[in-house]
Structure 1
Amino acid sequence: MYRRFLLIFLYLYALIFSAAKTIRMPNQWAQSHWLVDYRFGFIKRGLAGELFGFLFEKNAFSITVLSIAILSVLYFLIIKIALKTTWSNPKSYYRILFFVIFLLSQYIIFSAHLIGYLDHVVFLLTILAVYLITKNKWLPASVIAVFSIFIHEISVVLMLPVCCFAIIVNQIHRREFFIKNIFSRNLLTKLTLFLILPFLTVVFISFYQEINGENYYPQIFSYLKQSSIPENVSDSVCSAYTKSFTYYFSEQYQHFIQRIFISKATIFYGIPILFSLWIIFKEFKLKQNIQLFALLIVVSAVPLILHSIAYDTYRIWTFPYMILFLGFWILSLKCRAENIQTKHEKLSWWESLFFITAFLFVSLVPAVLFDGETERFSMIIKLILILPILLVLYFLKKAPAETD
């Protein structure tokens, strides 16, 4: 019981510390996305605003309440998954370190800073879809994926790869996984059943956007300005809603290599991501199945493709954290289903150094925020606030797991 209390405190404290650095009310970009709907005809990302307008009056207050509710549910599920996954193997210290890094990560920091963004809805739906897949309910998960793509096309790189990973892991014995097994008739059938509806949805939205998207720019721009959205924000949002994917690719692709390999995020985000991958590798004994580990690396890296069409580099770099969080959950559920308990191992000195480095990067390095904002805690305050985390980690390392 003592150990469980420490875990609950640790995870909640880490999440609150991360969110408190940057949390704010929904900015005008987020508000605009909830205001846009199908009143002028079909438009990508219009479903969220359409449903919102059907249920509530569209104003800043209702958007704020909805945004807080969505983020709260997402945080609740994240904490619940982290705790249940940790308790499923209470002797593993690796699991605790993984979730501490995730809860301190830039994903949590940006999720609070970008409250109201449709990304949060996409990840909520992804959690639901993955849960359904683990229960062998492919078609309901596929319908949710379609729904998510209509809310935001970013679902293609955030939701679909991790759902496919869940299907693959759920269908193949973890110790017998080989890439060639993905091409078995049984697994290909399940992947096709899941992907056919989302694929048709993506094709429809893409072609429609290429042909008709820009026709709606004047109406949406005028509507947003009448809704008290500043002209520069209205223009940016209208471009995001009406410009084609090929337009953004032609504008941004030349920066892709630099954003992946030669940016500050490459170091400050990349090292904690590498540590998270290492923890997964060790925790689930993936040395015995390197092909499964390689598949997870690919799935977690897929969101970085967005660097070729979007300029918000730091936001995009946060997505692999959430994908790895979901991947850890999927692998943990598979181990539980196969009744596999990984052996408890002590951290080596270099693993401890690796953790400390990743820990300092996610907890102390200031995030580059939107709208010219900065984190509200100074370096001194952050140094003081991380002490309870280190103290609880020390006690958890010393506390006997049998007390669970």
Structure 2
Amino acid sequence: MSRKLLLVFLYLYALIFSVLKTARFPNEWAESHWLLDYRFGFIKRGLAGEIFGWFFRKNEWSIALLSAAILIFLYVLIFRIAVKETFRNENSFPRILFFLIFFLSQYVVFSAHLIGYFDHVVFLLTILVITLINRKKFFAASLVAVFSIFIHEISFFLMLPISFFALIVSECQNKKFSFGDIFSKSILSKLALLFVLPVITTISISFFQEINDENYFSIIFNYLKQTLMISDEVAGSVSSAYTKSFTYYFEGQKGHFIQRLFISKCTIYYGIPIAFCLWMIFREFNLKKNIQLFIVLTTAAFVPLLLHAIAYDTYRIWSFPFMVLFLSFWILSSKEITVKKEEVKRLSSVEIIFFIFSFLLIFLIPNELFDGETERFYLPVRLILMLPVFLILYFLKKPQSKID
């Protein structure tokens, strides 16, 4: 089997394993979001349900089919990106390990578990925004970002930071980046073109949320109940999410922020694999020579964790940095921001141990899922399924000769 086929098989194997651990139908929370629209006036997150209602009858099957189509499309895109960027330098073992960890990561696991969530739509639109930025179509990218914020305001944390990074890389492609470059007339004008409308949109939605009264709660609650698809508990939770102010959630959750970020199981189970991915990017693109760019990248990756201050779905939030780092790798690789190495450097013993530890954390340790569900595959099965991965890595660790 050729090296390229082995790489494709490795990524596909990892992706399928992660998805099968938690794949299911959309839960009631996801269904509720697709059911809500602008029939009672403007509400945040109503745009997706509004557009959905133009083309489909809103029921469990149509929501399930649409959710599956969105998720599969996202998987196809990220798989294509991973394969393409690996083939740019298929002798780079750090590159292979980065994508392997990503496909096994909690992000992919939770993406299957939380099928139907608007997060997937936001990341699809983020890929589109990055593509537009790379093509210097900043105003078009801005409009897509505004659209995404109307889909879900979480776009402010997931999309805008990595879009900032993409713009910086695009504009500083042939030189070393410094923070002072941000204040150049050229970059400032493009930043304004890209971010003014999305920021205004986010502020406007936040203001609307602050002044929204409790009467709207009962309207949403009763509507969800009459669909006969949503339980009282979920209808109440969703109605609160759509009507309670951001200040309300911040006051209720801010006390848990430090604990969720630094003193939780996720700090270890998610934090170590995230750190490994970050190190592989640092190593692969020689960011030691571009530290300030690396700081921007790291900031973009960890901005989503600020959501711990306003939301309590800790495990889902901790999964977001994996996807942001994946997009960061794609941005850097496609732009070839750094000087290419003349020779492939071997991983050190410390880096190998770092990888193995990260791999075992995401491959063997089950994640705590929503709705009382548990992951598939018991430990003995996982140990067996782990063997092909290490076998393939053994064959891939030797760089391909130029003759091949």
Partner residue, 2:60: 60
Identity %: 61
Please tell me the residue identity of whatever aligns with 2:130. Answer: V
Answer yes or no: is 1:168 the counterpart of 2:168.
Answer: yes
Is 1:272 paired with 2:273? yes
Matched to 2:316, the amino acid is: R
Task: Provide the residue aligned with 1:231 in structure 2.
Answer: 232
TM-score normalized by the length of structure 2? 0.97
Instruction: Quickly say closer, same or farther: Cα 1:124–1:403, change in 2 above 3 A.
Output: farther
Q: Distance in 2 between matches of 1:131 and 1:362?
A: 30
- The CA distance in 1 between the partners of 2:268 and 2:403, in whole Å, is 39
CA distance in 1, matches of 2:196, 2:343: 40
Bigger RCO (CA 8 Å, 6+ sep): 1
Q: Report Cα offsets for 1:272-324 as digits up to 9, x if no partner.
A: 00000110110000111111111111110100000000011111000000000
Judged with a 3 Å threshold, the aligned counterparts in structure 2 of structure 1 residues 343 and 146 are, in CA distance, closer, same or farther, namely: farther
The alpha-carbon deviation at position 215 of structure 1 amounts to 3.4
Residues 145, 230 of structure 1: alpha-carbon distance in 2 compared, 3 angstrom cutoff: same
Letter of the structure 2 residue corresponding to residue 304 of structure 1:
L
The residue aligned with 1:320 is 321
Offset of 1:175 from its aligned partner?
A: 4.3
Work out whether residues 286 and 339 of structure 2, in 8 Å CA contact, stay in contact via their aligned partners in 1. Answer: no
**Number of residue pairs matched by the alignment:** 403
Please, what is the CA RMSD of the aligned residues?
Answer: 1.4
Whether contact under 8 Å (2:149, 2:156) holds in the other structure is yes
Letter in 2 for 1:311: Y
Cα shift at 1:342: 6.3
Runs of at least 4 residues off by over 3 Å = 338-343, 401-404
User: Given that residues 106 and 269 in structure 1 are in contact (C-alpha distance below 8 angstroms), is that contact kept between their aligned partners in structure 2?
Assistant: yes
Change (3 A) 1:342 1:132: farther
Aligned-residue offset at 1:4? 0.8
The 2-side partners of 1:130 and 1:175 are apart by 20
SS at match of 1:40: coil
Alpha-carbon contact 2:253-2:312 (below 8 Å) kept: yes
- Worse overlay, 82-91 or 320-329: 82-91
2:4 alignment counterpart: 4
What is residue 348 of structure 2 aligned with on the other side? 348
State the alpha-carbon separation in 2 of the partners of residues 255 and 271 from structure 1: 21
Alignment of 1:190-205 (within 5 A): 190-205=190-205
CA–CA distance in structure 2, aligned partners of residues 106 and 377 of structure 1: 15
Residue 332 of structure 2 corresponds to which residue in structure 1?
A: 331
Cα distance between partner residues in 2 of 1:106 and 1:342: 34
Q: Deviations over 1:380-400 (max 9, x none)?
A: 111111111111111111362
Structure 1 partner of 2:98? 98
Provide structure 2 residue ranges, at least 5 long, that are not aligned to the other structure: none
> Could you say which residue in structure 2 is the equivalent of 1:15?
15
Instruction: Please state if 1:305 is matched with 2:306.
Output: yes
Q: How far apart, in 1, do the equivalents of 2:378 and 2:5 lie?
A: 29
1:157 equivalent to 2:157? Answer: yes
Report if aligned partners of 1:252, 1:309 keep a CA contact under 8 Å in 2: yes
| Corresponding position of 1:248 | 249
Matched residue type, 1:241: Y
CA positional deviation for 1:200: 1.4
Q: What corresponds to 1:208 in structure 2?
A: 208
The answer to whether the 8 A contact 2:19-2:108 is kept is yes
Question: Residue by residue, what CA displacement relative to the aligned partner does 1:42-93 show, whole Å, maximum 9, x if unpaired?
Answer: 0000000000011100000000000100000000001000001111112211
1:75-94 matches, within 5 Å, as: 75-94=75-94
Distance 1:245 1:219 in 2: 20
Is the 8 Å Cα contact of residues 91 and 399 (structure 2) preserved in structure 1?
Answer: no
Report the counterpart of residue 288 of structure 1 in structure 2: 289
Query: In the alignment, which residue of structure 2 is the partner of 1:111?
Result: 111
Paired with 2:126 and 2:403, the residues of 1 have a C-alpha distance of 34
Is contact 1:213-1:244 (8 Å) kept?
A: no
Kept after mapping to 1: 8 A contact 2:253/2:308: yes
Which is further off, 394-403 or 321-330? Answer: 394-403
1:373 is matched with which residue?
Answer: 373
Retained in 2: the 8 A contact 1:175–1:288?
Answer: no
Aligned counterparts of 2:342 and 2:17: Cα–Cα separation in 1: 31
SS at match of 2:169: helix
Quote the Cα distance in structure 2 between the aligned partners of 1:10 and 1:216.
50
1:318 match: secondary structure? helix
Classify 1:13/1:401 alpha carbon distance in 2 versus 1 (closer, same or farther; 3 Å).
Answer: farther
Change (3 A) 1:175 1:232: same
Indicate yes or no: 2:147 matched with 1:147: yes
CA deviations on 1:334-380 (whole Å, 9 max, x unpaired) are 107x8845641101111100000000011111101000110011011
Partner amino acid, structure 2, of 1:331: L
SS at match of 2:123: helix
Structure 1 residues 346 and 339: alpha-carbon distance in aligned structure 2, compared to 1, 3 A threshold: closer
Contact (CA 8 Å) 1:3, 1:399: kept in 2 or not? no
Q: Provide closer, same or farther for how the CA distance between residues 124 and 342 of structure 1 changes in structure 2, counting only shifts above 3 A.
A: farther
Change (3 A) 1:241 1:343: farther
TM-score calculated relative to the size of structure 1: 0.97
Whole-angstrom distance in 1 between the partners of 2:166 and 2:219: 41
CA distance in structure 1 between the aligned counterparts of 2:121 and 2:322, rounded to whole angstroms: 17
Mark the CA change 1:403 to 1:357 in structure 2 (over 3 Å): closer, same or farther.
farther
Shift in CA distance, 342/94, structure 1 to aligned 2, threshold 3 Å: farther
Amino acid aligned to 2:201: T
